[in-house]
Chain A
Amino acid sequence: MISRSQRVIFWCLVWFCIVILSVPTIIVVGASLTGGNIITFPPDGFSLKWYRQIALARDLQQAFSRSIIVSLICLAVSLPVGTLAGIALTRFRLRFANAIQIYLLLPFTIPLIGSGIGMMLVFGSWHILGNIWPVGVALAVINLPFIIWSVSSSAAALDSDLELAAASCGAGRFETFLHVTLPGVMPGVITGGLLMFVLAMTEFLVSLLLTDARTVTLPVQIYNNIRSIITPDLAAVSSVFVLIALLAVWLLDRLVGLEIFLKSK
């Protein structure tokens, strides 16, 4: 039973969270509907002219499709790598565990500028800069801890007796992995995968250093535009993102159920 004081305190904090999480989003969506030439809230008259503008902007659309490709590559790299690593960290006893942990946290402890410059130099010496796929790989690297973490939190909750049981029933190692371990960590894989995709769609600093005018992605384009002058078309672009987000969340809910993010087994 939740007591009254607990309910009051918790709900106050939760409402505060809801407000600070949603208000900037609402402001940005609202500002995109302005009839004026600058981002303001409340908007200066109602108009869809900025949406018309971005619908006609070919460079934004190309940048958007490049971002999708980059995010898919990021997903293709990070899903298997992160899943295996997450399983390895939880299901196997490894030596130097703490050192590995700190090593795998490097993507978070290295500032993004450092990662960006470093990878620019490394990819440059490999002569692969100028392609789109290294950007996807780079984004997989800098966000890798997210997917490792979400897989390992699912894997930790998985009873290892299940795997033993499968093995003693004659299942091969591959079957055990495919039918027992993998379904067990699936919630973590889905959460992590979604995070990786979304973060790749919105990362700008590392991408900036690894793209050029022919491979520029949407967040880099937005960032560069913000650096010059901020016009409501950027709010419109962001609102399109929100719409896509709503669609994705709805789709996810229909397909697997949103509750999957809360599950640990």
Chain B
Amino acid sequence: MNRNITRRGILRTGMATGGAALLTPFAASRIFAQEPEKPAEIIVRAWGGDWVAALKAGVSDRFTEETGIAVRHDLTEDNEIQPKIWAAVAQGRIPPIHVNWDTTTNASKSALRGVTEDLSDLANLSNTTDLAKPIGLDGYPIVNTYGYVYVLAYRPEAFPDGAPKSWRDLLDPRLKRRIALYNDGIGFHFPAQVAGGGSLEDIPGNMDACWEFIREIKNQQPLLGEDPDFTAWFQNGEIDAACTISTNALAAKKNGIDLAWTVPEEGCKFDTDGMWIPQGLPENELYWAKQYINMALSKESQQIWLDGLGLPGVVPDLTPPEGLENDPSYPTKPEDFEDLIRISSKIQIENESEWFAKFKEIMQG
């Protein structure tokens, strides 16, 4: 991307936003006298569907209302935007986006690589819980914005005796070819370590129990996919149970599929998503990108945004969405976290490719 394009982009979007800004030119310039020049728009990477709808309602629309800066959403997958940003920073180009809404694991990789901007001066950070602070990184090269659980989602009609109590219940012969996991095994490694008789303290040193259990699961011939696949497979009646993020189950449920989820006795993986800003933006755009993330951390925005996602946020005293109070996929109190497994993102990102390769080795056999 070069200057030329940015300017053209401004002209184009200026048509849409210019009107509102023109009405109050004097007031605006007086109030924001010390503020850097506003870009016509900022680009925020987001997941599509319900995810981006929730972000738009909770953060983007409020941001535009308050600043007059339009927000454009880039729906490229987090995995796929990553090499684009890395290449842009390495080649000294302006990155293709202003704010990346990302998984904490992926975001941490970018932070370690040194392509992220420091966020520790955001005003709203003072009102956040510990969840907002990335573990294993210095300061705030990224900021976590909410947590989520890799639940065991299932179709109640396939489990007439009630919710599965253990991950081992997936080994039931009648579930052969009827279960699904992420294709890199993400979310499943840690409960599998427990279900295989191992201990969480041994991660990453000794994960034999995990691999042993995954080998047993392999005999069930699970389907392997990504977020949208789970929703589609539940909808098309391909599977009865899956280890997936609760939001996907919630999405299928909203589409009229009878679904429930549970946290089995071995526990479920808890993880976070976050936001960060790539390096290489012009000063003024960097300032406004930071304001965007700052707004995402405000209580008002978190309430609306996370109601849409059905996930617990990083500011205290949010009202849980209807039906999710005390739900295992919506942990807020310390005791809610007892059944959940949280491993530092440092251990995760250092070992992830190895775990991934091992999982593939078993599953591609």
Tell me the count of chain B residues lying within 8 A, CB to CB, of chain A: 35
> Within 8 Å CB of B227, what residues of A?
227-228
Contact present for A130 and B2 (CB under 8 Å): yes
The reply to whether A120 and B84 form a contact with Cβ atoms under 8 Å apart is: yes
Q: In the complex, A214 Cα to B39 Cα: how many Å?
A: 14
Most B CB contacts (10 A, CB to CB) among A121, A127, A130, A224 go to: A130
**Taking the nearest CB of chain A, how far is it from the CB of B20, in angstroms?**
18
Shortest beta-carbon contacts, A-B, top 5: A228-B48, A130-B1, A228-B49, A229-B49, A213-B74
29 A–B contacts from the bound complex (CB under 8 Å): A37-B256, A40-B235, A120-B87, A121-B87, A124-B93, A127-B93, A128-B2, A129-B1, A130-B1, A130-B5, A130-B96, A212-B96, A212-B97, A213-B72, A213-B73, A213-B76, A221-B75, A224-B76, A225-B75, A227-B47, A227-B48, A227-B228, A228-B51, A228-B75, A228-B227, A229-B228, A230-B228, A230-B232, A231-B49
B77 to chain A: closest residue by CB:
A227
B72-92 residues with Cβ-Cβ distance < 8 A to A are: 72-77, 80, 83-84, 87-88, 91
Judge whether A139 is part of the interface by a CB distance below 8 angstroms.
no
Asked, given contacts A121-B87, A130-B5, whether A213 binds B48 with beta carbons under 8 Å apart, the answer is: no
Tell me if A98 counts as interface (CB < 8 A to partner B): no
List residues 208-254 of chain A with CB under 8 A from any CB of chain B: 208-209, 212-214, 216, 221, 224-231
Partner of A227 from the list B43, B97, B226 (CB cut-off 8 Å) is: B226
| A residues in contact with B97, CB < 8 Å | 212-213
**B residues within 8 Å of A by Cβ?**
1-2, 5, 9, 43, 47-52, 72-77, 80, 83-84, 87-88, 91, 93, 96-97, 226-228, 231-232, 235, 251, 255-256
* A53 part of interface (Cβ distance < 8 Å): no
B72/A225 in contact, CB under 8 A: no
CB of B218 to closest CB in A, whole Å: 26
For B48, list chain A residues within 8 Å (CB).
Answer: 224-225, 227-229
- A47 adjacent to chain B (CB < 8 Å): no
Q: Hey, which chain A residues are within 8 Å of B228, CB to CB?
A: 226-230
A22 beta carbon closer than 8 Å to chain B: no
CB within 8 A of A208: which of B76, B88, B93, B226? B76
A208 CA / B77 CA spacing, docked (Å): 10
> Distance (Å) between the CB of B290 and the closest chain A CB?
19
- B96 pairs with A38, CB closer than 8 A: no
- With a CB–CB cut-off of 8 A, which chain A residues contact B226? 227
